[in-house]
Structure 1
Amino acid sequence: MRPSITIALAAGLAAPQAVGAAEIRTVTLSTAGLALIEAEEQLGDVPATLSVRRGDIDDFLKSFWLQDPAGGVPSISLPGDGAFADTFDLLPLDPDDLTDPAGLLGAMIGAEIEVERQGETTTGRNMGVVQRPCEDGSCSFLTLSDDSGGLRQFRFDAGLDIRFADPADRAMIARALDAWRGQSDPGTIPVEIGSDVPEPRDVTMTWLQEAPAWQTAYRAIDGAGGLRLQGWAVLENATGHDWQDVTLTLATGDVRALEVELYARQEVAREQAEEARAPGAADVVVGRTMQSGLAPSPEPAPAAPVEADDGASFSRYTLTDPVSLAAGEMVSLPFLDETLAEARMLLFRGGRGQQHPDIALEIENPLPLRLPAGVLTLYEAGRGHAGDAMIPEIPPEGEATVNFATERAVTVREDQSRVDSVREMRVSGGVLRITEDLERRTLYRIEGAADAARTVTIDHPRRRDWTLTAPEPAEERLDWWRYEVEVPSGEIARLEVVERQPRERGFGLLEMDIDTLQRWGSTAPDAETRALLEELAGLRREQANLAEQIGRLQQRERELVEEQQRLVELITALGDESDANARRRDRVDAIDGEIAAAREERRDLQQRRDAIEREIRELIGA
């Protein structure tokens, strides 16, 4: 058995403080994933203590504020992220030394200790624990240097009591034990809230912490009196605190919630210093400037009170009855009950490839608050479940259309056609500028149900840069035009939507081929432009013909040169005065004349081609 080591502390081991019993009064759950907690506590000369989960400490440090009727300056103190390691960095002990008496004595070599066995006490300086052979095989022995300088050894067993005599040593070990105690629950951090006002008074503490977003489940009952819409909140108490008769508020909206690390240490990489050198004048000036610019840190000002209310980016629903909910439990509570006007419709959305219209609800928000997004379950009075739908967040006086079923008794066929017509054509700066009218026709062919007539609502999509020509819509929205079509039983109804889009295009005439010129010339809406394009096409044809002739002449020149070269080589190789060679020499001389004539003709054609090019440029203003 291990010996008994008694550590007599001057102030005693600090007993763990009880977590402050701050009374939670108000909880606001947000769809941004945060919980706003308001709690009441008494504050005076003794700080209030809160137990904050490690995962919530950053949000706590970011958001905590104090409503103090005395106007005191608040303070927050808590152990740092590296408090445990920092404590042992300053002590001659390792954390494991405190869990092993022999290790503790080994770390405290030279410490003044008192050793007691069977009522006999010996005082001296600790020299550590060693292993020696004994009748049991191997035993531990404590070595002590007594006041006379002698060395005493004591068997390190359960009959040996050891006491540290120096109060400083006892205080050091107590500090190490406190560090271990603070590490016993790494999931929570004790936070002390203090103030510079010592008088006792009640204060309100407010802070944010992470929480699951509350969700909405709607029930809608479609009856003779309209659509009764009831909203239920599904939420969980994940704050780590029990709620007892708290005022619960549900907030919805698009607020920005930032996550920032304030508790963890932020290490900063520093530049390595260069080799030491004598400071120059610039260094001295900078140093003096920096020193002279430092000023004492001002005392923190009292926190300004914050008024929480509905804002431009969120809406709040506060439940009338207090809520009690233990930490970790869930609850579902109704928070909204409104009757809306009947808004059921058969809705067909064009451009989506549908064949049948949807059975939909158009929900208008009559409240001055946002309706949160959520799932909707629709019931028909006397008939039961009619379908489910997802509702997006609806702003005040806004509306949303949601689908909950498909009407397969009605079939819709959607066909599109497009016609392009030239409205204006002109030539300027060598460019043919064309203004066109694009016309798109969308035909909705609706086959009615066999049992009864239907009214089908068609949402025709609005397309960028297209203007509606016909027919006039029953309603115009940002993304669509809405039409109401009455469809008799078993019959076919039609709706044709005509849209127009003006379009301007430009084409360079110098690069345009003859076929394209002829095509645009045939569609020109005015005689002047048509005549100009026809003349231009004629000049381009002549130009092309000249280019072909020039090409043939160039080929003829190459052939004549090759023939002449071949004859000269043959005459030289034979080297005689035969009649055949004489004829060859005559042919060489004749070829000179043919080449000259071909080149002259080619130059004339090239001049004509260049003249046509100038004429074309003048004609089109290039």
Structure 2
Amino acid sequence: MKRILPLWLLTNLSLLAWPMLAAEPQTGGGGAPTRPAALPLSEVILYSSGVGYFERTGEVEGRAKVDLRFKVEDINDLLKSLVVQDFNGGQVTTVTYGSRDPIAKTLKSFAIDLTENPTLGQLLNQVRGEAVEVMRPGPLTGTILGVEHKLQPAGENKTVEVEFLNLLTADGLQSIPLPQIQRIKLSNERLNAELRQALEALGASHDTQKKTVSALFDGNGKRKVAVSYIAQTPVWKTSYRLVLDEKEPPFLQGWAIVENTSDEDWTNVRLSLVSGRPISFMMDLYQPLYTTRPVVEPELYLSLRPPVYSDSLEKREVDKLAELQADRKAGGFADGGRAKGQSAPAAPMAAEPDAALTLSRTESTRALRDTESLGRRMNLRQGLASTSEGAEAGELFQYQITTPVTLARQQSAMLPIINQKIEGEKVSIYNANTHARHPLNGLKLKNTSALHLMQGPITVFDAGTYAGDARIEDLAPAQERLLSYALDLKAEVESRTTASSLDLVSVKIQKGVLIASRKSSEEKTYTLKNRDRKTKRILIEHPLRPDWQLVEPKEPSERARDVYRFALNVEAEKPARLVVREERPFSETAQLLNSSPETIAIYLRAQKIAPRVREALQEAASLRERVSQTASERSRREQRIKEITDEQARIRENMARVNQQSELYNRYVKKFDEQETELEKLRQEIETLKSTEKDRQRELNEFLMNLTVE
């Protein structure tokens, strides 16, 4: 039966080393005491890409250790971005953090294993052979032999199992009941430290959502140190209020919305907000990675046998042995004549190239490791580039909050970033795709501030009342942008599109290819009506199509990515018109060699065709007609041959049924003779026509291949 000792006794042993360790400062590798230090949060920079830069600064003295607690999901960003700096001659020796391996695996790595919640006896059994000092109540020093279980009487006819600690002391072996021991002290300081570290790891594992990251600073005297890192944060947002007044310029007020979702209060921190989209990603650097390595068996070499030397042979015996060896080779023994079951001899030199390669790789690895170590030493002395200036930095823009910010954990805040007058002009914006009848009330806003305005919603107030909501995209200083916030019911626009026309512009020929340039024209008329009592400035947005060219008006008021904008001042109760005419040029091609006469005739009848092109087309048509005529004549003769052949087949059939002495039979014979004469003539004419057709076709081909006129 396993007996569990009283909790107070187990606690006395488990915590035995703690008072001693607490009284003595921790020491590093150099033996100097290590002092704990705190680094409060001093600066926060939030990015619109969903990350935040956090900087902690403070003072340390001598050799100091800073412990920081982070959420497990933030460790990867920390490992990717952590920068630790020790100024005034100090240096950062190590940064340690808890492994992601299970706590059981971590506890098993210590000399004293606390994995299975051991009893005092089980704990002492793990340190057998170690010197201890026991208080019972007098002190006793000895070496642990082990813990054994003995039965002790406990009343009438009852026994209990008691654990006894067996010690080798100066006076010999002693067995002490564990319940009588008041205190046990391990004499081995290394084991004391291992026990303390195991208990620290066990305590840290209770909060599975956080890990401790410790930075060790080494130096002399008081020094300033800094720790900075990147962590995931909510995207900071902006919202604006725009006040419109007939007598005053527009007034813009902008607010930044920030959230402190961490478990730490921000107290008097320098806060900056950066707009832009820097590339940011996550990488799993926290998870331990183990690679699979191949198992290579060591090479075994056959030992050399002691040679046995035979007696010398006479010449005839040597010749006979040579003939015998030649016969064996000719006999085709496998593996050069080895006997069955005999192994091939090993090649002792086969491993030498591998050994040389291994040496070369080892030297290369050492050189690479030395280079990387030098790079790390250089980087550790470098600080972060200052980003505290409120200005543009590449594609980013930074808002520096001038007043230190205090924000409690899990709280949000609105911070003013702009509060000033700004340039703007009231307009009405018409787009048929947005609303077919009415334009939208809007504002042509110019960013006359020195700040980059990040995208966000805008609440518009006009004449002291709520007028609507608008949205704005990122707007750099001096840039202009249109805003729309309501439907303008006092203005109306009617659009009408006329049917498109197709016109021939020009015709040219390049190496027998006819290229006809055409244009398609389209016209759209906008009729504007203003029912307000004052003049309105209305912007008409007309679709910008890539293949179409603007003809009228010659230039738009402004050109956006996908629309033309035309500005018109429309007086009250007086309609206005805008005519937009566009052309789309395109071309058609046709191979004259394969074109039909009808196609060529269409272009010959066209008005907009150059005289030289017309003459070339006429010549091509004439040559093509000659080829066609020759082909037609040949076809007629071929058709006549077919007719005669069919007629002769009919006559042969009739002659088979008619008496050869009859007059009808003689007529058939005469008819045959006449047809044969005609067939011979037709075949000669066809051969002549084929030759003529081939010559005329070649003439046409050469003419067209060399024909280039405009």
TM-score tier (shorter):
0.7 to 0.9
RMSD: 4.7
Structure with bigger gyration radius: 2
CA contact (8 A) 2:85 2:92 kept: no
Match of 1:236 in 2: 259
Aligned pair partner of 2:552 in 461, 466, 470:
470
Shift of 1:590: 5.8
- 1-side partners of 2:495 and 2:534: how far apart? 20
Identity of aligned residues (%): 23
Match of 1:59 in 2: 77
- 2-side partners of 1:165 and 1:21: how far apart? 32
Match of 1:603 in 2: 687
Shift of 1:126: 4.1
Match of 2:60 in 1: 43
Query: 1:47 is paired with a residue of what secondary structure?
Result: strand
CA contact (8 A) 1:65 1:303 kept: no
Match of 1:11 in 2: 17
CA contact (8 A) 1:357 1:412 kept: no
Match of 1:34 in 2: 51
Shift of 1:433: 2.8
What residue ranges of structure 1 are gaps of 5+ in the alignment? Answer: none
Match of 1:387 in 2: 468
Does 2:268 align with 1:262? no
Shift of 1:78: 1.9
CA contact (8 A) 1:105 1:128 kept: no
Aligned residues: 613
CA contact (8 A) 1:105 1:129 kept: no
Does 2:386 align with 1:307? yes
CA contact (8 A) 1:32 1:255 kept: yes
CA contact (8 A) 1:349 1:458 kept: yes
Does 2:106 align with 1:87? yes
Distance 1:112 1:248, change over 3 A: closer
- 2-side partners of 1:450 and 1:367: how far apart? 32
Residues 491-502 of structure 1: matches in 2 within 5 Å?
491-500=574-583, 502=585
Distance 1:10 1:94, change over 3 A: closer
Shift of 1:396: 1.8
Match of 1:179 in 2: 201
CA contact (8 A) 2:243 2:462 kept: yes
Match of 2:211 in 1: 189
Shift of 1:260: 3.0
- 2-side partners of 1:171 and 1:335: how far apart? 53
Query: 1:249 is paired with a residue of what secondary structure?
Result: strand
Aligned pair partner of 1:485 in 552, 563, 568:
568
- 1-side partners of 2:76 and 2:495: how far apart? 58
Distance 1:57 1:109, change over 3 A: closer
Residues 525-544 of structure 1: matches in 2 within 5 Å?
525-540=609-624, 543-544=627-628
- 2-side partners of 1:562 and 1:474: how far apart? 77
Residues 413-424 of structure 1: matches in 2 within 5 Å?
413-415=495-497, 417-424=499-506
Shift of 1:435: 3.6
Query: 2:46 is paired with a residue of what secondary structure?
Result: strand
Shift of 1:183: 1.8
Match of 1:205 in 2: 227
Shift of 1:478: 5.0
Amino acid at match of 1:218: Y
- 1-side partners of 2:649 and 2:5: how far apart? 123
Does 2:406 align with 1:404? no
Shift of 1:254: 2.9
Aligned pair partner of 2:146 in 104, 121, 125:
125
Query: 1:606 is paired with a residue of what secondary structure?
Result: helix
Query: 1:179 is paired with a residue of what secondary structure?
Result: helix
**1:291-344 deviation digits (Å, cap 9, x = unpaired):** 334244437131235221331221222223322111110112222112123422
Does 2:362 align with 1:291? yes
Shift of 1:197: 1.6
- 1-side partners of 2:124 and 2:632: how far apart? 109
- 1-side partners of 2:692 and 2:700: how far apart? 12
- 1-side partners of 2:200 and 2:623: how far apart? 103
- 2-side partners of 1:61 and 1:391: how far apart? 37
Amino acid at match of 2:146: R
**1:263-308 deviation digits (Å, cap 9, x = unpaired):** 3334445566588586555434433333334244437131235221
Distance 1:581 1:85, change over 3 A: farther
Deviates more, 1:315-324 or 1:592-601: 592-601
Does 2:454 align with 1:454? no
CA contact (8 A) 1:102 1:129 kept: no
- 1-side partners of 2:619 and 2:297: how far apart? 82
Distance 1:534 1:175, change over 3 A: same
Amino acid at match of 1:58: N
- 2-side partners of 1:511 and 1:69: how far apart? 86
CA contact (8 A) 2:430 2:540 kept: yes
CA contact (8 A) 1:430 1:621 kept: yes
CA contact (8 A) 1:113 1:125 kept: no
Does 2:243 align with 1:221? yes
**1:15-55 deviation digits (Å, cap 9, x = unpaired):** 89999542222222121212222222222311122222222
**1:536-593 deviation digits (Å, cap 9, x = unpaired):** 3454455456555655655554565566568778988x89957587777766666555
Query: 1:12 is paired with a residue of what secondary structure?
Result: helix
Query: 1:226 is paired with a residue of what secondary structure?
Result: coil
**1:338-382 deviation digits (Å, cap 9, x = unpaired):** 212342201124777743222112221113331111100001123
Aligned pair partner of 1:426 in 508, 514, 535:
508
Shift of 1:485: 2.0
Deviates more, 1:596-605 or 1:422-431: 596-605
- 2-side partners of 1:63 and 1:175: how far apart? 28
Deviates more, 1:187-196 or 1:205-214: 187-196
CA contact (8 A) 2:455 2:471 kept: yes
What residue ranges of structure 2 are gaps of 5+ in the alignment? Answer: 27-33, 301-348
Does 2:425 align with 1:343? yes
CA contact (8 A) 1:64 1:206 kept: yes
Distance 1:48 1:594, change over 3 A: same
Query: 1:607 is paired with a residue of what secondary structure?
Result: helix
